[in-house]
Amino acid sequence: MARIHVVFGSVYGAAEQLAQTLTQTLTGKGHQAVLFDNPDLAGVIQDRPDALLVVTSTTGQGDIPDNLVPFFVALKDAFPMLNGLPYGVVTLGDSSYGDTYCGAGEQFDTLLDELGGHAVSAPLKVDACETLDPEGDALPWLDNWSAAL
Ligand SMILES: Cc1cc2nc3c(=O)[nH]c(=O)nc-3n(C[C@H](O)[C@H](O)[C@H](O)COP(=O)(O)O)c2cc1C
């Protein structure tokens, strides 16, 4: 079973709620999953989890929610090599935003890839235009992602 660190970015609460559900689900599967309210590099990355899960909505124009920006900036500035750390990205967005659809998740996926992380499966994009039930998309994705760890 894996030690999985989960971080979330959320403005109105949907991504936060989803992150809580995904963390509980991972725990139910026997993993040691920890959800970080105020993620910092030392706690999330340098503590060397077995995997990292990023759950974020998108705000502004493809932007990362304020609560997750400090973690993203710290990661970008410190640029710690992740040496194949398995990761996953779940992004909430709205396809009516066009080019910036799920931009926050894309920024994380690009950075984690540049740092040498290993995307266990393709990032999941949950479209608020298509569903009012993010869990309906995310739980099957999580099953596959966690099974591949
Ligand atoms: C002001 C505002 C800006 C947004 N900008 C984007 C965007 O650029 N791209 C996108 O895919 N979704 C965008 N969204 C949609 C949100 O990401 C989506 O509604 C999400 O489910 C909100 O999750 P949250 O409750 O965790 O904040 C935006 C929503 C708002 C209200």
Is 87:117 a contact under the CB 8 Å cutoff? Answer: yes
Q: Which atom of ligand 1 approaches the CA of 17 most closely?
A: 26
56 lines ligand 1 (CB under 6 A): no
Q: Phi and psi at residue 106, in whole multiples of 5°?
A: -65, -40
Best residue for ligand 1 mutational test, from 7, 10, 21, 57 (most atoms within 8 Å of Cβ): 57
Choices 3.40.50.360, 3.40.50.10320, 3.90.230.10, 3.40.50.880: CATH for 3-147: 3.40.50.360
90-123 pLDDT, tens digit per residue, is 999 999 999 999 999 999 999 999 999 999 999 9
- Domain map of the chain by residue range? 3-147
Percent of the chain past pLDDT 90, that is, above it, reads: 98
Is 82:112 a contact under the CB 8 Å cutoff? Answer: yes
- Average model confidence (pLDDT) for the chain? 97
> Which H/E stretch holds residue 75?
helix 69-78
22-44 pLDDT, tens digit per residue, is 999 999 999 999 999 999 999 99
Is 7:45 a contact under the CB 8 Å cutoff? Answer: no
Is 93:46 a contact under the CB 8 Å cutoff? Answer: no
| pLDDT surpasses 90 at 13 | yes
83 lines ligand 1 (CB under 6 A): no
> For residues 42 and 45, what is the distance between their CA atoms, to the nearest angstrom?
6
| pLDDT surpasses 90 at 134 | yes
Give me the pLDDT at residue 58, please: 98
15 lines ligand 1 (CB under 6 A): yes
Q: Could you tell me the pLDDT band of residue 47, with boundaries at 50, 70 and 90?
A: confident
Taking residues 124-143, what's their average pLDDT?
A: 97
Measuring CA to CA, how many Å separate 113 from each of 84, 106, 119, 134?
A: 9, 10, 7, 25
Strand residues in 12-50 grouped as ranges (E): 32-36
> For residues 58 and 72, what is the distance between their CA atoms, to the nearest angstrom?
14
Q: Which atom of ligand 1 approaches the CA of 58 most closely?
A: 17
Rounded to the nearest 10°, the torsion over CA 58, 66, 139, 96 is -10
Taking residues 48-57, what's their average pLDDT?
A: 97
| pLDDT surpasses 90 at 46 | no
